[in-house]
């Protein structure tokens, strides 16, 4: 299928000059129309920075130092999101690509009814829409995410965390974007609720036809719900593969370590191994393959030469073991 969002050689730094750290290192990643792409990696690997970078929502001192983010609208020519003016960017966000942030459910305005917060998005982006159409659309969205009609006029504090998160999803979908990015929307929610919300999003995707980038460190959720998975380490993508292939036999030792950190979905129980050591510090990124100090399979070239992400059929990996 055709790509809807193509990240090409994206680089992001925090800070300027010799104080800067390189947080996103030459990341290339493609989201295809209609698919769910999962993005996983330990804390600090750069998942949020990548999401904020590609939507130009990086908080200072974050700066994009290179790359392209090519967006292909449903009708019309592809364009580079990084080249949009601020005015064009306001049109792009919400209407073309919507993002639900980490902990977004706490960003609802406590003094406004949830229905009002949804109609406000429409008021800002579709000023010509009539008041009654706005109300109808807000009701429809809330119904779609499973909020009962009698809760429409509730205030955020009257709703559970899971319901507030669903309101955020409704808000993200209200302008019918092509791409929805969810950055760990499941933090602070219990496991049952995480599954429900992600399951619901997938169901909505089937009905409304948008594409999803779903960011989490819970790889088991991604194996279950996404089409493809990209694994980040130290600001780079180290492996990318169809979810089933990644689960069956991942190519990269880091992915193998992450997969060893959660119980098998099916089949025999296996021992949880986890990954010894801790993720690298951006200020002192190891030479060569940045995973080498923790890698059980490290060998000759690993400490000195950086492995590049290379395609192997429908998957790719950045590791000297699979580099042929
Ligand atoms: P988590 O799973 O905890 O959300 P993440 O994968 O989203 O982690 P990021 O938040 O993108 O990781 O952080 C990537 C790296 O950038 C980390 O090393 C972090 O310390 C660094 N970083 C993030 N924000 C800033 C900032 N404002 N200034 C300097 N460094 C930052
Ligand atoms: Fe391990 Fe070497 Fe592969 Fe890096 S390149 S993951 S250190 S084997
Ligand atoms: Mg994050």
Give the sign of the dihedral formed by CA 156, CA 143, CA 31, CA 97. negative
Q: Is 282 in the pocket of ligand 1 (CB under 6 A)?
A: yes
Given a contact cutoff of 8 angstroms between Cβ atoms, the answer to whether 315 and 244 are in contact is: no
ipTM greater than cut 0.90: yes
Contact partners, residue 182, CB within 8 Å, separation at least 6? 99, 100, 169, 201, 212, 213, 214, 215
Residue nearest to ligand 2 atom 3, measured at CA: 319
pTM for the predicted model, two decimal places: 0.93
pLDDT at residue 265, as a whole number = 58
Let me know how long the chain is: 324
Atom 7 (ligand 2) nearest CA = 292
- What's the confidence (pLDDT) of residue 189? 58
Predicted confidence at residue 43, as pLDDT, reads 86
What pLDDT was estimated at residue 263? 61
Give me 62's structure tokens: 């974050």
Question: 120: how many CB neighbours lie within 10 A of its CB?
Answer: 15
The ligand 1 atom at the shortest distance from the C-alpha of residue 50 is 11
Q: Where are the domains of the chain?
A: 3-96+177-317
- Cα gap 139→148, rounded to integer Å: 9
Protein residue whose Cα sits closest to atom 4 of ligand 1: 43
| Residue 234 CB less than 6 A away from ligand 1 | no
pLDDT at 163: 87
> Which residues lie closer than 8 Å to 185 by C-beta, 6 or more apart?
100, 102, 104, 105, 165, 168, 169, 197
CATH topology of domain 3-96+177-317: Rossmann fold (3.40.50)
Report CA(104)–ligand 2 centroid distance (Å): 36
Query: In the prediction, which pLDDT does 39 show?
Result: 96
Task: Determine the pLDDT at residue 195.
Answer: 76
In angstroms, rounded to a whole number, what is the distance separating the alpha carbons of residues 231 and 236?
Answer: 8
Sign of the C-alpha dihedral computed for residues 313, 320, 230 and 256 taken in this order = positive
Q: Collect the ranges in the chain with pLDDT lower than 50.
A: 186
DSSP element (H, E) containing 123:
helix 114-125
Is 14 a pocket residue for ligand 1 (Cβ < 6 Å)? Answer: yes
Q: What is the pLDDT, as a whole number, of residue 106?
A: 76
């Amino acid at each position: 299928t055709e790509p809807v969002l193509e990240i090409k050689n994206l680089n992001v730094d925090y800070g300027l000059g010799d104080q800067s750290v390189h947080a996103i290192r030459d990341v290339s990643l493609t989201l295809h129309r209609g698919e769910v792409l999962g993005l996983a990696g330990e804390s600090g690997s750069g998942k949020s920075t990548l999401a904020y970078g590609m939507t130009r929502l990086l908080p200072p001192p974050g700066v994009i130092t290179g790359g392209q983010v090519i967006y292909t609208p449903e009708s019309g020519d592809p364009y580079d999101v990084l080249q949009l003016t601020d005015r064009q960017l306001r049109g792009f966000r919400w209407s073309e690509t919507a993002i639900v942030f980490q902990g977004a459910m706490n960003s609802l305005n406590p003094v406004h009814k949830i229905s009002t917060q949804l109609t406000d998005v429409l008021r800002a982006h579709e000023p010509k829409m009539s008041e009654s159409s706005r109300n109808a659309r807000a009701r429809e969205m809330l119904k779609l995410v499973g909020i009962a009609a009698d809760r429409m006029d509730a205030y955020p504090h009257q709703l559970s965390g899971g319901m507030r998160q669903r309101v955020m999803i409704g808000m993200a979908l209200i302008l019918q974007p092509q791409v929805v990015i969810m950055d760990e929307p499941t933090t602070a929610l219990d496991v049952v609720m995480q599954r429900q919300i992600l399951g619901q999003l997938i169901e909505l995707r089937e009905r409304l036809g948008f594409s999803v980038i779903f960011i989490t460190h819970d790889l088991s959720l991604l194996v279950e719900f996404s089409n493809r998975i990209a694994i980040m380490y130290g600001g780079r993508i180290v492996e990318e593969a169809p979810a089933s292939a990644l689960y069956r036999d991942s190519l990269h030792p880091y992915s193998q370590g992450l997969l060893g950190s959660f119980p098998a979905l099916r089949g025999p129980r296996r021992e949880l191994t986890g990954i010894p050591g801790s993720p690298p510090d951006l200020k002192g990124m190891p030479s060569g393959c940045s995973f080498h100090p923790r890698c059980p399979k490290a060998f000759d070239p690993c400490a000195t030469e950086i492995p590049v992400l290379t395609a192997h059929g429908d998957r790719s990996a950045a590791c000297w073991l699979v580099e042929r």
